[in-house]
Structure 1
């Protein structure tokens, strides 16, 4: 299959590892950056790739650029915005699915996806079969499932660190030993990107007002300073 990836250059390695070498990958913009900032210079590349593309992985909000392509299937990154929030009642003219596209959370045994229209369930199954990936459908909600859980754990760890009751190293080690997770919360925050973690938590807080997602001041300061955790 020909995979057209918009704004996903930061996940180029993970996408190739997830879906394997048997597909054609086109990243727009080719050299990274945000398509919205480089639209004019990137359009020739997009115009060349779109006619043969089978699937779009959209890490922005670029539906108008490919919505008229016959037979296109779109996966849109949905960690910070549900499909119903994005599209409302304006049903897209093409099959569209949400997916968890945060760094480290894409290349897993199951592709985490959500449905806008249940009538597209068979198309989802066929597309994932062609991509040679198993998948799991989760509720179409902000944060999906895995981003919600992981970012909540990172936020809780930030509160613990802020209180001074444990060090970054101790918290990371304790979580890995206690839960058998592959990474500790601060290691995970750096791998995902501290700003992306903040964005997920912020949208969860706005959506739910659940205290678990109320952003720790320490994490907010890290984002404002554009810092990562010193592991």
Structure 2
């Protein structure tokens, strides 16, 4: 008897089914807590794209497990590095302000809610800023994009191709945040730092630095 689905594809079918179930459950949860439509659209959009990226990455699950082992005892170091990065950028903003240059957040950045008023929207947007956004960006720019270039690069071309990709993706990463000229350096340098951390320690390390950096911005 012929099978409709090849045995090698069953894990992808199961993963897709789990993804749609979880996405539906998330949508019901957001509706249940009565978040505003912009918050609903933001989180569902992020979760949907993240699910697609995770499905694409199913064949590299062993690499993710190895990344977990790499940072098993050093996770606090990456979290601290993220906070230090956010404080360095705050110093840059304050220094620029002293010279009459006001550095505003990127036009495509998620609006930071008033943390003095705790609502369902506030909690969910904070989770999006600290976790969902960084996870989505690290999967797209580092784990999939930079990881693929590192795998395909020939030994003699590896340094050049990886360096060019880091510069290119850091530029794209910065531009996607809609920065004004004075703020471009903040996003570009962030992209370079996340890329270097990924190349040395893996995607979970770059995710921790990224997430802690965003948390640092909220705290500051």
- TM-score, normalization by structure 1: 0.25
Structure with greater Cα Rg: 2
Q: Which has the higher helix share?
A: 2
Q: Which has the higher contact order (CA 8 A, sep 6+)?
A: 2
Q: Which has the higher strand share?
A: 1
